[in-house]
Amino acid sequence: MDKGLQAFIDKLDSLKFDNMYENDFYFTWDKTDDEISAVFTVADALRHLREQNISTKIFDSGLGISIFRDNSTRTRFSFASACNLLGLEVQDLDEKKSQIAHGETVRETANMVSFMADVIGIRDDMYIGKGHTYQKTFMDAVTQGHKDGILEQKPTLVNLQCDVDHPTQCMADMEEIIHYFGGVENLKGKKLAMTWAYSPSYGKPLSVPQGVIGLMTRFGMDVVLAHPEGYDVFPECEEIARKNAEKSGGSFTKVNSMAEAFKDADIVYPKSWAPFAAMEKRTDLYGKGDFDGIDELEKELLAQNAQHKDWTCSEELMKTTKDGKALYLHCLPADITGVSCEAGEVDASVFDRYIDPLYKEASYKPYIIAAMIFLAKCKNPQETLKKLAERNQPRLFQ
């Protein structure tokens, strides 16, 4: 056994996370600190093994079902990579090619695609109050199906983004922070600014800022949420952030100024999102099939956004952060001023300077997803990691 792997196993031995076995991953705040830590540790362990050309295939066959109700590149490829790393084949449920339009129930679809499914990955972030509900309905159906003897296994949910949380993204973001600052023990007292930023596009999901404040407040950091008036996120998520901060010895505050948030920040996460109230209205209009109303709302929102063009991650603002060198985070793709749009979330020169940490941030996602699956499928993850090292099957046979 190499020492690197042993360190991860020792770390896992110090944590309690048996409740993750055969469980699902909806929200980070459903999980204990130990469980969150276990995900990071297993992610690092899997990466460690792969870097040593040791196979981490625990599945000989089996399917990972993906459902993307919104376009996706990086999450799609992260899920595919995670499944492949563990030995699962991705089968995408493309609702356009299916008979679902016939009006069949989610209960039925869920069971029909799950006969040999070990994992279900769902992205459904378009409508407030819908995404999480869909995931829950889907998983209730397969849980029942498993109980009733229809499904041989209960597949595990990995929430690939809903209207409430984006756990695989925020945990990848968090792993970047941990590695960047040399360990979770160095984060106490660090200031993180999660701030709204201007974008010429409309209706971006709230799940990233919500996920960020819901997770990042657990590590003793001073988390500041900044946005213009009217761009509030779910009150429930703010409440979670408040409680987390209190428990972790950090803080959670809200301000209405990007400049105030950036001041002396160690980490900044400037990103656009839509106002919660407007998204609720949109869901209502959608429910009524009022597409003219939706178009009208879109125009209003773009006009509202345009009033806040000064909310942008400029070089000037970056200078005001800790030593002028805060870590810049983004879930990507960013709206880059002068590159992907005339005026956007971030100056091109800022973005370019942070390419390496940004791409590294994204590179954690496949491992985070794989770790979530691993912890849900392995009864004794430490034992399985040991056995993988002993099996010592090369990923690339030479």
Nearer to a copy of itself, 32 or 144 (CB): 144
Least Å distance between CB 201 and a copy of itself?
8
Does 292 sit near a copy of itself (CB under 8 A)? no
The yes or no reply on residue 62 touching a copy of itself (CB under 8 A) is yes
**x/- track of binding to a copy of itself for residues 65-84 (CB under 8 A):** ---x--xxxx-xxx-xx--x
The b/e string for 235-245 (b: 16+ C-beta within 10 A; e otherwise) is eebbebbbebb
Instruction: Answer yes or no whether residue 59 interacts with a copy of itself by CB under 8 A.
Output: yes
- The answer to whether residue 257 forms part of the interface with a copy of itself (CB under 8 A) is no
Given a contact cutoff of 8 angstroms between Cβ atoms, the answer to whether 27 and 159 are in contact is yes
Q: Which two structure tokens, joined as six digits, stand for 287?
A: 């429910």
> Which residues share a beta bridge with 252?
223
Return the number of the residue (208 or 362) whose C-beta is nearest a copy of itself: 362
CA–CA dist 181, 179 (Å, integer): 5
CB–CB of 199/106 below 8 Å? Answer: no
Among 7, 34, 91, 283, binds a copy of itself (CB under 8 A): 91
Does 392 bind a copy of itself (CB under 8 A)? Our answer is: no
Which one, of 96, 30, 9, lies nearest residue 378 by Cα? Answer: 9
Cβ atoms within 10 Å of 321's Cβ, excluding its own: 22
**203 is a contact residue toward a copy of itself (CB under 8 A):** no
Comparing CB distances to a copy of itself, the nearer of 143 and 201 is 201
Binding to a copy of itself (CB under 8 A) within 132-171 occurs at 145, 148-152
* Rg, Å, the chain Cα set: 21
Euclidean distance between CA atoms 299 and 156, whole angstroms: 40
Q: Comparing C-alpha atoms, which of 4, 53, 7, 12 is closest to residue 383?
A: 12
E strands, 148-306, are 156-159, 191-196, 222-226, 251-255, 267-271
Grouping H, G, I as helix, E, B as strand and the rest as coil, residue 15 is coil
In the structure encoding, which two tokens stand for residue 236, read together? Answer: 């429930």
Question: Does residue 13 bind a copy of itself (CB under 8 A)?
Answer: no
Q: Which range touches a copy of itself (CB under 8 A), out of 27-35, 181-189, 227-235, 383-391?
A: 383-391
Among the candidate windows 28-36, 158-166, 266-274, 363-371, which touches a copy of itself by CB under 8 A?
A: 363-371
Question: Smallest distance from the beta carbon of 253 to a copy of itself, in angstroms?
Answer: 31
For a copy of itself, the closer of residues 56 and 159 by Cβ is 56
Decide if residue 356 touches a copy of itself (CB under 8 A). Answer: yes
Q: Based on CB atoms, which residue is closest to a copy of itself, 211 or 250?
A: 211
Give the CA angle between residues 71, 273, 133 to the nearest 5°: 60
Interface pick for a copy of itself out of 20, 85, 178, 329 (rule CB under 8 A): 85
Backbone angles phi, psi at 267, to 5 degrees: -140, 135
Judged by CB under 8 A, does residue 3 bind a copy of itself? no
Residues in region 170-199 near a copy of itself by CB under 8 A: none
Part of the chain binding a copy of itself (CB under 8 A), chosen from 64-72, 208-216, 217-225, 231-239: 64-72
Could you tell me the smallest distance in angstroms from the CB atom of residue 387 to a copy of itself? Answer: 7
Q: Give the Cβ contact number of residue 20 at 10 Å.
A: 25
